[in-house]
Amino acid sequence: MSDNHNPGFNTNAVHAGYHAHSGPVNPPVEESSTYAFENCDDGAERFASRDKKGIYSRLSSPTVNALEKKIAKLEGGFGGIATASGMAAVNAVYYHFLDKDSHVIATASMYGPSRTILENPSFYKKWGVQATLMDTSHADDVEKAVQPNTRLIYIETPANPTLAITDISKISAIARKQGIPLVVDNTFCSPYLQNPLDLGADFVLHSMTKSIGGHANAVGGIIIAKTEEDYNVLRNIIVNIGGVLSPHDAALFFNGVKTLGIRMEKMQESAKRMADFLANHEKIEWVIYPGHENHPMHHLVGEKKQMRGPGALISFGVRGGLAGAKALLDNVKLNTLAVSLGGVESLMESPALMTHAGVPKSEREKAGIKDELARCSVGIEDFEDLKADIEQALEKV
């Protein structure tokens, strides 16, 4: 390959971060919390230069570093910092930007705990942080919500579980004009479908627990910074707060992400067919799927657009309200009743009863999270089997 050839997504997913020419093809998992120095000068030198040969593995571990480099490459950022969970990544961002008495604008229907920690008095509120939780898909409203003390715009797109899509370029233009940093939770799309840094975001974060890992076998998160300066600041925060990823879990994610592209292709293909099937079923009242033309932000979905594909998540309303949704979810057999998403196994859940039960009902309804909503994360099983399972469960609704 010539030096100016840019490898494609799948090539980077397999090879970026660690590429062996001899020896093991995967980065070794170093089970060592601390590293021996040759002598005092060597120790002093490693501390001074943050040498990658190792000091102490909360600061740096080769397995974790390889994963961080790989994901940073897939997102097009300067560098990544892996965290012990997606929530550790969300908290590191909030902690960094939200000073005493500051203000944050965030997507109302985002991941439940990302919202709850802005509203619960035990967290940021105790330092006077105010949050405006809103439908960030209306960019004009976001601009109007900016206050003199706004220190962060935090968006999740598509949002969870309404699949509302926020125009990242539009929000980034607003953020830039006002000098406010923009952070995007890109968990739902994964870097395969969407790269917020290319659209003007300053940081992108993921729960790697979901599509990046893809096999429901480990919990982890990552923050990717666009610039070296931001990267250094965030790394310093995370290693000192202490929510770092373990080398064992890093090894699981390092292997999981290699197949992200092919998994997403398969999941998305089945999700498109499932969304069509549900939209035509008499017991389903409505379907929200970014691939459908009736999605309000469908124009942002497609090749070379914000979302290069519609993804593998579908939200839909089951006839009969909460009881209808429960009847469906209690009767599926192959589709697993479980929270989480983006993995090889198809999962279904009720946000009103599970992921968003912590959000008061009136607030849920305002955010579009209705009682009859069931969320489906389509996996890589054979589509006909998934469809047959949902068909038989819908007979019981």
Tell me whether residue 110 or residue 278 sits nearer to ligand PLP (CB atom): 110
- 210: contact with ligand PLP by CB under 6 A: yes
Q: Minimal distance in Å, beta carbon 302 to ligand PLP?
A: 22
The residue of the chain with the least Cβ separation from ligand PLP equals 86
Total binding residues for ligand PLP by CB under 6 A? 16
Helix 247-256, helix 62-75: angle, nearest 10: 40
Tell me whether residue 222 or residue 329 sits nearer to ligand PLP (CB atom): 222
Residues identified as active-site? 58, 111, 185, 210
- 185: contact with ligand PLP by CB under 6 A: yes
**Which among 81-89, 147-155, 305-313, 327-335 is the span making contact with ligand PLP, rule CB under 6 A?**
81-89
**Binder of ligand PLP out of 29, 87, 152, 284 (CB under 6 A):** 87
- 114: contact with ligand PLP by CB under 6 A: yes
Tell me whether residue 12 or residue 187 sits nearer to ligand PLP (CB atom): 187
Build a one-symbol-per-residue string for 316-345: x at contacts with ligand PLP by CB under 6 A, - elsewhere.
Answer: ------------------------------
Tell me whether residue 260 or residue 284 sits nearer to ligand PLP (CB atom): 260
- 219: contact with ligand PLP by CB under 6 A: yes
Q: Minimal distance in Å, beta carbon 106 to ligand PLP?
A: 12
Q: Are 111 and 185 in contact (CB under 8 A)?
A: yes
- 224: contact with ligand PLP by CB under 6 A: no
- 201: contact with ligand PLP by CB under 6 A: no
Tell me whether residue 324 or residue 351 sits nearer to ligand PLP (CB atom): 351
Nearest by Cα to 278 from 270, 287, 291: 287
- 300: contact with ligand PLP by CB under 6 A: no
Tell me whether residue 114 or residue 268 sits nearer to ligand PLP (CB atom): 114
Residue 395: count other Cβ atoms within 10 Å of its Cβ.
Answer: 11
**Which among 64-72, 141-149, 175-183, 205-213 is the span making contact with ligand PLP, rule CB under 6 A?**
205-213
- 160: contact with ligand PLP by CB under 6 A: yes
Footprint on this chain of ligand PLP (rule: CB under 6 A): 85-87, 90, 111, 114, 156, 160, 185, 187-188, 207, 209-210, 219, 221
